[in-house]
Structure 1
Amino acid sequence: MTVDSSPGFAGRLTINGAELVVEAYGPEDAPAVIVHHGAPGLGSRAEPKRSFGPFADQYRVIVFDARGSGESSDDEPFTHEQWVADVDAIREYFGYEKIVMAGGSYGGFISLEYAVAHPDRVAALVLRDTAADNGHNELAVEKAKNTDRTMIPQWAIDRIGTGHFESNEQLREYWKAILPLYDHQHDPAKDAAKLAATRFHYRTHNAAFGQNMPRYDLKPQLPSITCPTLVTVGRHDWRTPVAASQVIADLIPDARLVVFEHSGHSPQLEEPELFQRTVRDFLDSAGIR
């Protein structure tokens, strides 16, 4: 199924003082799924739109560019607290008491933060290739050093997870250097397309990884999450490995962990049919229809 090119809502909303680009697909009276993209300063609504757009046959799918990313405005602060508050304001704007909160990679961090901050507003949680702390960063650096796919320059390796960028141009060169690490089956043409489609916001990226991540650790709060939770991850994910997802699944009561054997960091794109079927089965089993 393809995404309807005419969303039920598409526009710029003033959310907590920032101008956010928001799109909504699917029936207004259906259960709402708000999807948070990853990679602050690099990511955008394009990936959640592609990954969760097919769910608009049964759900109200809401995607957006977070403040400091994509086409949204660069209004600080770029903190987890602010991004969580923005999600809640979007929920309130569309008039939903409860939502399915979904997010991958850094979007998973915000999804977890949202579930901890607003447990009464989350009907279910869908996570993809994410983590509950920053303990996976050193392993990612080692994988980048030892990859046989490409020669990653040392300056780029030194900046993994640091937030030390001086310009959008430097962030672009870094993104270009590490893109070959992400997919299980490397395709240089796909990397080139991703690079060309990316809008760069280096200050957002710096705040996310230089300020937020060093103090990020939600492990003590995870047992308080009681909503149905699906944790998905690619077997070959270099950035947030299976072990990081296992920690989440172990700490959230009755969470379900699904490992995609033929994926890297993006099973929702590398194994889309299986990913969609897995999420649909989970939502059905959670009684969210």
Structure 2
Amino acid sequence: MSAFRVNVDDGASLHVRLLDADPSIKNKPLLIALHGAPGFSDHREPENSFGFLQSQYRILVYDARGSGISDLKQPYTNERWIADVEALRSESHPMAGAEKIVLAGGSYGGFLALTYALAFPSHLLCLILRDTFAWGSRGMMNVLKQILTSTRLKVNPDRQLRLWAGYLRDKQDFEDVYTEIAPLYSPDLPDEVGETIDGKYTSLKFEGANKKQDGRRFHAATQDAAFGFNVPRYDVRAGLKDIATPTLVVVGRHDLITPLEYSIELKKAF
């Protein structure tokens, strides 16, 4: 595993990690995995999701601009974020580059993966879409509905409105609002119960529930741009039929944030 910084064309510096279990194997395909939740999530999410593939692929994960420890350099737009993906793909960065890539994105990372597929189709080997959707406004309103109607949560409605409308007061406001909704992202099970695919039991606590221990960085301006400006304008439904890249769509059957029906719609559209 190697960690390094990549400076893109506008001078922003991105924190990048390249996972490669056996660098002696030459010409392994490059898989770039995009994290969700700009301003909240970081490279650890896709590293945990896709790291097991590093014997077959070079796995590149990174903190998007405005997230983690990458530069907090605006603009925080989908167009700029996919330009950063293209910079990492570019062979001008030999540690990261490849002529064609496998692109994986979960949640908001799926928005960017789909947007990239429409802008740079010739640079893709295939797409992996996890827990995502093609129409931003409907998806965002579904999340707000789940939050405000959940019997598991006790939330401040005004604070939730600030989160999803994109006008958080500050970093502390951002931390407080995510602490409120953390249980929605975890199974409705006792902390010690959670069956894995090999039949063993493990904890399924929400990673972000203890923000001080997991070292998460909250960047309110990035979140505001993503959900106050970008998501209401994100709608790639009309372009899905033009994506010829082989695509895998994956979702949890009981996902409340990105319901199964959204992934079924994606599958039918390709």
TM-score range, shorter chain: 0.7 to 0.9
Instruction: Give 3-state SS (helix, strand or coil) of 1:136's partner.
Output: helix
Q: In 1, Cα distance between the equivalents of 2:165 and 2:255?
A: 19
Cα distance in 2 for partners of 1:238, 1:160 equals 18
Taking structure 1 as reference, are residues 95 and 140 closer, same or farther at Cα in structure 2, changes over 3 Å only? closer
Alignment partner of 2:209 out of 177, 180, 192: 192
Name 2:173's counterpart in structure 1. Answer: 170
SS in 2 for 1:103: strand
Superposition pairs of residues 19-30 of structure 1, within 5 angstroms: 19-26=13-20, 27=23, 29-30=27-28
> 1:189 Cα shift?
6.9
In terms of mean alpha carbon deviation, does 125-134 or 193-202 score higher? 193-202
**1:226 partnered with 2:244:** yes
List alignment gaps of at least 5 residues for structure 1.
1-6, 253-289
Work out whether 1:149 is the aligned partner of 2:143.
no
1:179 and 2:182 correspond: yes
Q: 2:63 aligns with which of 62, 65, 79?
A: 65
Write the deviation string for residues 123-159 of structure 1: whole angstroms up to 9, x where unpaired: 0000111110121222222221221223222223323
Taking the aligned partners of 1:235 and 1:194, their CA distance within structure 2 comes to 27
User: What secondary structure, in the 3-state scheme, does the structure 1 residue paired with 2:164 have?
Assistant: coil
Give how far 1:81 is off. Answer: 0.6
Q: In the alignment, what sits opposite 1:161? A: 164
Q: Distance in 1 between matches of 2:208 and 2:16?
A: 26
Q: Check whether the contact 2:147–2:153 (CA below 8 A) recurs between aligned residues.
A: no
Question: Identity of counterpart residues, as a percentage?
Answer: 41
- Tell me the alpha carbon deviations over residues 79-112 of structure 1, each in whole angstroms, 9 at most, x when there is no partner: 1111001001001123311000001000000000
Matching residue of 1:275 = none
Q: How far apart in 1 are the matches of 2:154 and 2:246? A: 42
SS in 2 for 1:68: coil
Who is 2:3 aligned against?
Answer: 10
CA distance in 1, matches of 2:112, 2:105: 7
Q: CA deviation at 1:160?
A: 4.8
Distance 1:190 1:118, change over 3 A: closer
2:49 to 51, 69, 76: 51
Q: Which runs of 5+ in 2 are unaligned?
A: 192-204
May I ask how many residue pairs the two structures share in their alignment? Answer: 245
How far off its partner does 1:214 sit? Answer: 1.0
CA 1:166/1:123 → structure 2, altered by over 3 Å: closer, same or farther? same
